[in-house]
Chains A and B, each alone.
Chain A
Amino acid sequence: MEKISRSEVLHVARLARLEFTPQEVEEFTHQLNRIIEYMDQLKELDTEGVEPTFHALAQTNVMRDDQAKPSLSQEEALANAPDRDERGFFRVPRIIQG
């Protein structure tokens, strides 16, 4: 039986903000099932009581003083924007109706 259904693929695609043609959905469903089947071999291992490794080396939070330092100008920050307005903002579709 397939572990990941077609509708689950569509749900994950929505979470990931991606869309696919019906044919791509078929392909992804098939490929993801094969890949997940392979991943399932991890279930053979008993990991009861094993701490997860989120970082290979011990990581601690790094703090710095809150000091103003030179940073990008508004113009530099906007230079790569696909759409911007003349007042120096990124322009996006309206998100609040009214």
Chain B
Amino acid sequence: MELHWLTVKEAGELLSRGELGWRELFLGLRERIDRVDPRVRAYISLAGDDAISPPGGKGSLSGIPLAVKDNICTKGLETTCASKILKGFRPPYDATVIERLKTAGCVLLGKTNLDEFAMGSSTENSGLFTTHNPWDLGRVPGGSSGGSAAAVAAGECLAALGSDTGGSIRQPAAFCGVVGLKPTYGRVSRYGLVAFASSLDQIGPICRTVEDAALIMEVISGYDPKDSTSAPYPPLNAHELLSKEVKGMVVGLPREYYGEGLDPQVREAVMEGVRVLEGLGCRVEEVSLPHTPYAVATYYLVATAEASSNLARYDGVRYGLRAVGYEDLYEMYVKTRSQGFGEEVKRRIMLGTYALSAGYYDAYYLKAQRVRTLIRGDFERVFETCEALVTPTSPTPAFRIGERVQDPLTMYLSDIYTISANLAGIPAISIPCGFTQEGLPVGLQIMGRAFDEATILSLGHAYQGVTDWHKKTPPL
């Protein structure tokens, strides 16, 4: 038995029956990391030996080794956001999700790579290094949670946490052939998640099966008084998340997601997935989300405006980098920020500052927030008749490292199918649904109504019950 290919569910059962020791599992994964991570480069840092202490908790996650994206605060363990400006930052507290995972008995393996401050779609914007796609080391793992997705795909952890502002969990999950869930906005506490765009950010699981996603959601979801935007609901129940009747469900295919720019091989794999859902008894209907063509522009105005405000806190006073050789406070700020932030982060701060500045606020920021209402309205209309929407997660499979770095706009357009769910606040999951001829994974996205994770997870779980794409492993 290869320990590193176990699902969370399988490992949990072995652990609870005493057929596997948590220490054996942990060390098995550390060994796997030592073997493959020099090629994949998923991890920024590994938890120290003090992580090896008998885990508490009695639930299904007790003793399960997990990886965490390096923009989620871990007490005493360096949290960098893959930025030079936060190098050496050791948070004095745990994010709420970390606290809950620790209480449940999870063992933290380490922190995974990302595009700096989660701004990017490939990990090439990491201020530290680029992660490689385990299916083809010459390609990107997607982003921004590329380290987490690559770690799961390469067997370097059983599951991981990511964060999703415009697709940052789902797109890398699709590129790496694993499952990635962005929960409804407010479902999971953002306390301790380093803020990028506060009205869009959401933490979620990346794992091999939809069932594992449900098990992790059971632990990390639910109201948190420390996050005033967290929704006033109790934690979800994994069994309920997976057990909705799929037969007779009405599933919409929004035609705007199947048009120009969609790679034919991706389309084919997704349509095959749709036929599988039909075989499970779903009723498939074509629908329209007419404002979809405006989503990318809306997103990049809203997200950058919020980011420019959130990133004002990196001033060289309380934590992180402070530049040397300044005359006064203004110069200290300018030099610290200019040396500490990478190019894409600066580009987004500039765009966001411009969109919020006097004379442009109405034309760009406010305009985008009004269009956001129209985009939400599209979803409200189709969800009157459909229970879920099925689309490709990304228009293409993983692209080559270096292929898009020179062209920020093309990079932004790779998020075209994922950002609307963030703008509307609804839950969405990416599930492996096939491979291209080159052997690159393809992801199928299911979007659902706000706070109805149960429908999309039940659909995904039923789909994985009759397919085996999620059981394929890369030749590393």
Residue of A nearest to B90 (CB): A80
A87 within 8 A of B: no
A52 within 8 A of B: yes
The interface stretch among B46-54, B161-169, B328-336 is B328-336
Q: Are the CB atoms of A18 and B320 closer together than 8 Å?
A: no
Residue of A nearest to B91 (CB): A80
Taking CB atoms, residues of chain A closer than 8 Å to B182 are none
A23 within 8 A of B: no
B247 within 8 A of A: no
Residue of A nearest to B339 (CB): A19
Taking CB atoms, residues of chain B closer than 8 Å to A95 are 328-329
Q: How far is the CA of A19 from the CA of B450 in the complex (A)?
A: 42
Q: Tell me the residues in window 309-347 of chain B with beta carbons closer than 8 Å to chain A beta carbons.
A: 312, 315-322, 326-330, 332-335, 337-338, 341, 346-347
Taking CB atoms, residues of chain A closer than 8 Å to B351 are 32, 35-36
Q: How far is the CA of A55 from the CA of B363 in the complex (A)?
A: 19
Q: How far is the CA of A72 from the CA of B322 in the complex (A)?
A: 22
Interface string of B404-430 (1 = CB under 8 A from A): 000011001000000000111110000
Q: Are the CB atoms of B326 and A42 closer together than 8 Å?
A: no
A7 within 8 A of B: no
The interface stretch among B112-120, B207-215, B223-231, B274-282 is B223-231
Taking CB atoms, residues of chain B closer than 8 Å to A55 are 185, 199, 229, 425
Q: How far is the CA of A77 from the CA of B316 in the complex (A)?
A: 14
Size class of the B contact interface (CB-based, 8 Å): 35 or more
Taking CB atoms, residues of chain B closer than 8 Å to A79 are 90, 92
Q: Are the CB atoms of A82 and B316 closer together than 8 Å?
A: yes
Given A55-B199, A81-B317, A81-B318, A4-B354 contact (CB < 8 Å): yes
Taking CB atoms, residues of chain B closer than 8 Å to A43 are 363, 367
A68 within 8 A of B: no
Q: Tell me the residues in window 13-69 of chain A with beta carbons closer than 8 Å to chain B beta carbons.
A: 13, 15-20, 28, 31-32, 34-36, 38-39, 41-43, 45, 47, 50-57, 59, 61-62, 64
Q: Are the CB atoms of B357 and A15 closer together than 8 Å?
A: yes
Taking CB atoms, residues of chain A closer than 8 Å to B357 are 12, 15
Given A15-B353, A42-B368, A52-B366, A82-B199 contact (CB < 8 Å): no
Taking CB atoms, residues of chain B closer than 8 Å to A50 are 370-371, 373-374
Q: Are the CB atoms of B92 and A82 closer together than 8 Å?
A: no
B372 within 8 A of A: yes
Size class of the A contact interface (CB-based, 8 Å): 35 or more
Q: Are the CB atoms of A28 and B90 closer together than 8 Å?
A: no
Listed residue (A19, A32, A35, A80) with the most chain B CB atoms within 10 angstroms of its CB: A35
Given A38-B297, A41-B294, A47-B370, A18-B317 contact (CB < 8 Å): no
A88 within 8 A of B: no
Residue of A nearest to B426 (CB): A56
Taking CB atoms, residues of chain A closer than 8 Å to B217 are none
Taking CB atoms, residues of chain A closer than 8 Å to B300 are 35, 39
Interface string of B185-228 (1 = CB under 8 A from A): 11000000000000110000000000000000000000001001
B364 within 8 A of A: yes
Q: Are the CB atoms of A20 and B338 closer together than 8 Å?
A: yes
Q: How far is the CA of A93 from the CA of B328 in the complex (A)?
A: 6
Which residue of A45, A62, A92 is within 8 Å of B228 (Cβ)? A62
A83 within 8 A of B: yes
B469 within 8 A of A: no
Given A16-B350, A41-B297, A47-B374 contact (CB < 8 Å): yes
Q: Are the CB atoms of A93 and B332 closer together than 8 Å?
A: yes
Taking CB atoms, residues of chain A closer than 8 Å to B297 are 38-39, 41-42
Q: Are the CB atoms of B332 and A92 closer together than 8 Å?
A: yes
Which residue of B88, B318, B333 is within 8 Å of A17 (Cβ)? B333
Q: Are the CB atoms of A38 and B409 closer together than 8 Å?
A: yes
Taking CB atoms, residues of chain A closer than 8 Å to B317 are 81-82, 90, 92
Taking the closest CB of chain B, its distance from the CB of A20, in whole angstroms, is 7
Residue of A nearest to B354 (CB): A12
Q: How far is the CA of A41 from the CA of B297 in the complex (A)?
A: 8
30 contacts between A and B (CB under 8 A): A9-B350, A12-B354, A16-B349, A17-B312, A19-B334, A19-B338, A31-B347, A35-B300, A35-B408, A38-B297, A42-B294, A42-B364, A42-B368, A51-B373, A52-B366, A53-B370, A53-B376, A55-B425, A56-B199, A56-B424, A56-B450, A57-B231, A57-B450, A61-B228, A79-B92, A80-B88, A80-B92, A81-B317, A83-B322, A92-B317
